[in-house]
Structure 1
Amino acid sequence: MIMATVTAQAWPFLVARGRRAGYRTLLMPQPFLAEGDAALLENNVQPSGVPDRPEVLNLTTRMGRAISVVHATHRLTAADLGQADDPKDEHGRPLHLLYGYVRPRGTRVEPDPADLRTARATALEVYRRFLDDEANFTTGAGQPFPLRTSLRTPAESRPAPGAAPRWRPSLRVVLAATLALLCIVFLLFTLTILGDTPTPPKPECVIEAGTTDCPTPTPTGSSTAQKRMVGGTSSARK
């Protein structure tokens, strides 16, 4: 199968919690938000134990669209929000962003770090607005950006120009070859059975009256010759 490299676009997203609010989708790719599939990422993207390491998750939308979700987990710092201390929730726990981008599904390729930086910059901008008014914040629509990561997708396999077409046996040829093979197997099996037939036992010795040993069998030709010799000797004596 030939793989074709295509240029695609991606949509950024953000799933995060605030100082008081729990995890929710703050930024959703615009096409999926329009389809009413806002909870798709919130229900499937999970935090990672390694900061900012990209992971790829394949999903299918409610409308049957095959997508790949490239996501990472970022722990918020004071520098991210321009504060003196690292931001925390009302219970003193650190805050994390589950961010990334959604792209059309292709073969698994290593995400370009530049694409992830673009998604993180967009996520931080959205998160700052969210912290200003957590209660009244509404999910934003992520706008597409061109991917730097090249996608490789299956393409129809076509023979190269001038290449000889590959021969494929027809059904008739396959059936004939199978029948010939079965005949050979049957013949070998029959020969094996015949070769294993036991040799009939020799007749038992019958001891004639007045003798103690079995007579030695004499070939037919030798017996006739002996008779002729006996006859000739008798005539000579006469």
Structure 2
Amino acid sequence: MRFALCLFADEYSRVVASCTRIPNHPHMAKPSDTAKPEQPSSRLETLTQGNVALMGALQRRGAKDSFGSLKFLAAIRPAEWLELVHTHGTPEGSPLTPTEYAAALASNVERHFPTASLAAHLADGRRLGQIPALKGVARFLWDHPGFDLVTANLNATTRLADPRSGPASPQLVAGLRSLQRLHELGATWDETAALLDAGYHSAADVAAAEPTELNTRLAGRIKPEQRILALQHRAKTLQKAASRRR
């Protein structure tokens, strides 16, 4: 069983890399948890690629406590997505294998609900929750359910103050900024954990890294190697765009 789970983890990492698209345009809009309103049923149809059986299962699952939101999907872990796909199948006519479709579902949910997905990663002991620099972020997100990492102005730190505990700590602000910057890079939260653990806290850090060193430090953490190269290419694109705006 343990061997099978390891095989799934490796295959899942490979497929997620193929499903994760890094925008080519530096100003391309990114989804956020507070993006424009959309009917949950319509959004669920988009996320599942019209898989009616899976839509029904997810609607039943979220009916009790989602209050019309689909953010509950962020708590579903990759292995559970695969189990759901094996139970309810892939969309009719889809060329994707169950593993590819499960990876696409997880990737789509994270892309549409980045802050809720971040909270789930931190809360249930995934790699991101083991990063010391992010201490306090999980509690902050719990105490501020309306916080949106994508749109937050983290330079206005007074807005992060808590009436009960006072101003946000420098460590919390630094952690949130690192998460925001790496999300802008297009990294998934699992990839963000690998980048932070390797000492890369922003697109500028990734862009400035020597490619061989970057590959060495991220080998086995971000797969495949082409994904590491794609992230660095995106980082350099962002840096060039920032330089032109100065």
TM over 0.5: no
Of structures 1 and 2, the larger Rg is shown by 1
TM-score (norm 1): 0.23
Of Structure 1 and Structure 2, the greater strand share is in: 1
Structure with higher RCO (Cα < 8 A, 6+ apart): 1
Of Structure 1 and Structure 2, the greater helix share is in: 2
